[in-house]
Structure 1
Amino acid sequence: MAKRVVLAYSGGLDTSVAVRWMIENWGVEVICLA
């Protein structure tokens, strides 16, 4: 089971890239809160 990360998501390019980067590099499940 992958670890979970909760991210405050602004919808901008930087957080969109960060979500994908964390999934690919850390192997985590990302939960975004807007």
Structure 2
Amino acid sequence: VKRIVLAYSGGLDTSVAIPWLSETHHAEIVAVTLDMGQGKELDDVRERAIAVGAIRCHVFDAKVEFAD
């Protein structure tokens, strides 16, 4: 099974990219996003990624690198 990892913002462009990549490349999509201190907004991002076709969404803690 081909798998594509997508840096996912949760916005319109990357949300449209998930099903497009999946269909065009016949691949499973794994979304990756960074936690830069957004709080509960990340729950929505994760849910949106799955709703548009990602098989999972990983959130990496990047607060120290980007928010401090």
Q: Segments of 4+ in structure 1 off by > 6 A?
A: none
Count of aligned residue pairs for this structure pair: 33
Higher relative contact order (CA 8 A, sep 6+): 1
Which deviations, in whole Å up to 9, do the C-alpha atoms of 1:1-34 show, x marking residues without a partner? x201111100000000000101111110100011
Partner of residue 7, structure 1: 6
Can you give the 5+ residue segments of structure 2 that lack an aligned partner in the other structure? 34-68
Superposition RMSD in Å: 0.7
Q: TM-score, normalised by structure 2?
A: 0.46
User: Which structure's CA Rg is the greater one?
Assistant: 2
